[in-house]
C-alpha cells in the first residue's frame, strides 16, 4: 500500500488536497439569516474592496463619483476597467474568473459581457447558491466574524436566528472594545452594561466580562478575535505605578479572563494600519510591521490561553514562525490579505512546513463574498499541494514509504483538524482552571 513512485505520490497529493473538506476558520461571510450581511453574486464580487483599490489605479473617476453610484453601476465600472479594458491578471481579479468558471459560468461561453453572467445567476436563490458554492469549494464549515457592536447583527442574534445553519459558526469580534474604548463604553451602556469611562474600575471590568460572556454564549462563539495595529501597546512587563492603556487593562482584566473561563481561544490578527487612505473606505487599509513582543508577552504570561495568530507584514513572518516554536499555545494561521497571493502563499507555506511540520493552519480565506470561497481555496489548495509534493518526495527518496492514509491524515490536520485541536485544548484548559 505504500506509495513508491513520484508520479503516484503527485497524483495522491493532488487528489487529497482537492477533495479534503475545509473548516474555513476566518471569513466575513454569514449564514442566510443575516440577510444583507451575506454578500454574493457577480456584482458583489466586482465590488470586493481588493478590486476597488485596483480600479482606482486606472480610472479618472473621483472617489466621490464612484461612491455616489449604485451597486450595479459600480460593478459595471470595475468590470469595464479591470476586465474589459485590460486583462484581469491580479490575484483578486483572476480570482473572479476562477470562481465564475468553476461555477459553470465559463468565460469561453459568456465572454466579456457582464450581463450574461448576471442573467445566468439571476434565477438562483441565496440558499441554493450557498449549497452550490460550499459543494464546489468543498467547504465543511465556515467561521463568521460577528460583531456585537453592529446593531443589525445584534437583531439576528436576539431573535435567536444566528445559529440556524450548522455550517456557519460564530466568532466574537471585539475590535471596538479594545481599540475604541470610550466609544465602546457608550455602546455597552446602551446595551445595559454599567461601565464607566475609566476601564480600570473593578465594577467596569466585571461588566465588560459580563458583556463578553453574554455574547460569546449567545453566539456560541468558537473564539474571540481582534485585529490590531502593529504598534498596539500591550504592556506586559510595566511597573505597577505606571498607568496602563485601556487595551492592556481590557485584555488582562476582561478578554483573557473570559477566554479562560469559557475555554475559548483568543485570535489576534496583527499588523493592520487602518484608513491610510480614507477616501477608499474599506479598501483604504494598509499593512505595517508589528512589534511581536506583544504576542510573546501574552503567550508567556497566559500559558493556558490558546492563541490563534496571523500577522500581515511579510517582514514579520519569519519571526512569527520561530516564535510559534517557542510557545505551544501559539497556533499560526493563514496568509492574510496582501499575503493571500500565489507567490506569498508559496513562500510562507513552504517555510512554515520547514519549521513547524504539520503544527499550523496553512490557510483561511477571509472571504467577504460567498463565491470567493471557490477561487481562494482552489488557488490555495493547488499551492499547498505543490509544496507537499516536494516535501513528501524528499522522504520518499530516502526510503520513507508513505501511504495514502498518512497523507490524508496530514492534510486533514492542515485543513481543519489543527483548528479543531486548538478549540479542544482551550476547552481542556478551562477544565484545568476550574478543577473539574
What is the smallest separation between the CB atom of 311 and ligand FIX, expressed in angstroms? 12
Question: For the CA atoms of 66, 71, 77, 78, what is the dihedral angle to 10 degrees?
Answer: 100
Stretch that binds Zn ion, among 104-112, 361-369, 372-380, 394-402 (CB under 5 A): 361-369
What is the smallest separation between the CB atom of 30 and ligand FIX, expressed in angstroms? 14
d(CA 306, CA 266): 6
Strands (E), 138-247: 139-143, 168-169, 172-173, 224-228
The contact mask relative to ligand FIX for 5-24 (x = CB under 6 A, - = no) is --------------------
d(CA 176, CA 410): 37
Looking at beta carbons, which residue is closest to Zn ion?
366
Q: Where in 274-303 is the site for ligand FIX (CB under 6 A)?
A: 282, 285
24 part of the interface to Zn ion, by CB under 5 A = no
What is the smallest separation between the CB atom of 269 and ligand FIX, expressed in angstroms? 5
Query: Do 123 and 132 meet the contact criterion of CB atoms below 8 Å apart?
Result: no
Q: Which does 368 bind (CB under 5 to 8 A by kind): ligand FIX, Zn ion, none?
A: ligand FIX
368 part of the interface to ligand FIX, by CB under 6 A = yes
What is the smallest separation between the CB atom of 285 and ligand FIX, expressed in angstroms? 6
Q: Where in 117-136 is the site for Zn ion (CB under 5 A)?
A: none
Radius of gyration of the chain (CA): 22
Residues in contact with ligand FIX, counted by CB under 6 A, come to a total of 8
Beta bridge partners of 266: 224, 307
Q: Where in 337-356 is the site for ligand FIX (CB under 6 A)?
A: 337
Q: Which does 419 bind (CB under 5 to 8 A by kind): ligand FIX, Zn ion, none?
A: none
Question: 42, 137, 269, 369: which one contacts ligand FIX (CB under 6 A)?
Answer: 269
364 part of the interface to ligand FIX, by CB under 6 A = no
d(CA 289, CA 270): 9
Question: 366, 371, 378, 410: which one contacts ligand FIX (CB under 6 A)?
Answer: 366
Q: Where in 222-251 is the site for ligand FIX (CB under 6 A)?
A: 227
Query: Do 5 and 346 meet the contact criterion of CB atoms below 8 Å apart?
Result: no
Closer CB to ligand FIX, 337 or 392, in the complex: 337
d(CA 138, CA 229): 33
Cα dihedral across residues 18, 23, 28, 32: positive or negative: positive
- CA-based max dimension of the chain: 70
What is the smallest separation between the CB atom of 367 and ligand FIX, expressed in angstroms? 8
Q: Which does 414 bind (CB under 5 to 8 A by kind): ligand FIX, Zn ion, none?
A: none
Long-range contacts of 82-91 (CB under 8 A, 24+ apart): 82/51, 82/54, 82/55, 82/58, 83/112, 84/112, 85/58, 86/58, 90/54, 91/50, 91/340, 91/341, 91/342, 91/379
Quick one: which H or E segment has residue 294? Answer: helix 293-301
Cell of 125: 436563490
Closer CB to Zn ion, 348 or 388, in the complex: 348
What is the smallest separation between the CB atom of 282 and ligand FIX, expressed in angstroms? 6
Closer CB to ligand FIX, 47 or 429, in the complex: 47
Looking at beta carbons, which residue is closest to ligand FIX?
227
Question: 147, 153, 366, 371: which one contacts Zn ion (CB under 5 A)?
Answer: 366
* Beta carbons within 8 Å of 31's beta carbon, 6+ residues apart: 38, 130, 144, 162, 164, 165, 167, 168
For 322, other C-beta atoms within 10 Å of its C-beta total 12
What is the smallest separation between the CB atom of 48 and ligand FIX, expressed in angstroms? 9
285 part of the interface to Zn ion, by CB under 5 A = no
Stretch that binds Zn ion, among 34-42, 64-72, 203-211, 366-374 (CB under 5 A): 366-374
Cα dihedral across residues 409, 411, 414, 420: positive or negative: negative
Binding residues (CB under 5 A) for Zn ion: these are: 366
Binding residues (CB under 6 A) for ligand FIX: these are: 28, 227, 269, 282, 285, 337, 366, 368
Amino acid at each position: 500500500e505504500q506509495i513508491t513512485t513520484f508520479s503516484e505520490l503527485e497524483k495522491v497529493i493532488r487528489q487529497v488536497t482537492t477533495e479534503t473538506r475545509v473548516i474555513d476558520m476566518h471569513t466575513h461571510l454569514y449564514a442566510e439569516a443575516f440577510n444583507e450581511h451575506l454578500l454574493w453574486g457577480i456584482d458583489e464580487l466586482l465590488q470586493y474592496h481588493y478590486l476597488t483599490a485596483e480600479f482606482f489605479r486606472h480610472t479618472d473617476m473621483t472617489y466621490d463619483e464612484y461612491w455616489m453610484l449604485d451597486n450595479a453601476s459600480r460593478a459595471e465600472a470595475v468590470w469595464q476597467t479591470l476586465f474589459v479594458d485590460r486583462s484581469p491578471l491580479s490575484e483578486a481579479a483572476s480570482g473572479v474568473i476562477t470562481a465564475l468558471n468553476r461555477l459553470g459560468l465559463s468565460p469561453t461561453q459568456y465572454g466579456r459581457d457582464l450581463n450574461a453572467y448576471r442573467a445566468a445567476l439571476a434565477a438562483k436563490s441565496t440558499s441554493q447558491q450557498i449549497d452550490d458554492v460550499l459543494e464546489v469549494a468543498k467547504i465543511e464549515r465556515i467561521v463568521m466574524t460577528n460583531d456585537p457592536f453592529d446593531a443589525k447583527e445584534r437583531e439576528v442574534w436576539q431573535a435567536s436566528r444566528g445559529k440556524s445553519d450548522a455550517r456557519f459558526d460564530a466568532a466574537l469580534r471585539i475590535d471596538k472594545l479594545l481599540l475604541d474604548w470610550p466609544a465602546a463604553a457608550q455602546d455597552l451602556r446602551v446595551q445595559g452594561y454599567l461601565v464607566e469611562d475609566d476601564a480600570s474600575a473593578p465594577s467596569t471590568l466585571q461588566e465588560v466580562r459580563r458583556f463578553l460572556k453574554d455574547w460569546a454564549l449567545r453566539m456560541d462563539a468558537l473564539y474571540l478575535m481582534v485585529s490590531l495595529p502593529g504598534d498596539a501597546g500591550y504592556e506586559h512587563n510595566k511597573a505597577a505605578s505606571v498607568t496602563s492603556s485601556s487595551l492592556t487593562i481590557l485584555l488582562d482584566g476582561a478578554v483573557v479572563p473570559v477566554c479562560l473561563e469559557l475555554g475559548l481561544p483568543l485570535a489576534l490578527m496583527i499588523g493592520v494600519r487602518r484608513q491610510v487612505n480614507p477616501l477608499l473606505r474599506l479598501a483604504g487599509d494598509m499593512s505595517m510591521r508589528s512589534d511581536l513582543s506583544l504576542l510573546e508577552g501574552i503567550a508567556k504570561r497566559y500559558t493556558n490561553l490558546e492563541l490563534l495568530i496571523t500577522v500581515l507584514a511579510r517582514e514579520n513572518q519569519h519571526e512569527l514562525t520561530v516564535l510559534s516554536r517557542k510557545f505551544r499555545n501559539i497556533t499560526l494561521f493563514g496568509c492574510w490579505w496582501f499575503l493571500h497571493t500565489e507567490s506569498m502563499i508559496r513562500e510562507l507555506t513552504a517555510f512554515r512546513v520547514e519549521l513547524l511540520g504539520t503544527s499550523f493552519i496553512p490557510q483561511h480565506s477571509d472571504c467577504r463574498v460567498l463565491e470567493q470561497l471557490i477561487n481562494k481555496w482552489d488557488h490555495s489548495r493547488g499551492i499547498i499541494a505543490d509544496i507537499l509534493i516536494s516535501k513528501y518526495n524528499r522522504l520518499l527518496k530516502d526510503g520513507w514509504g508513505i501511504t495514502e492514509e498518512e497523507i490524508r491524515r496530514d492534510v486533514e490536520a492542515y485543513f481543519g483538524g489543527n483548528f479543531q485541536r486548538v478549540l479542544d485544548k482551550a476547552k481542556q484548559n478551562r477544565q484545568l482552571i476550574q478543577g473539574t
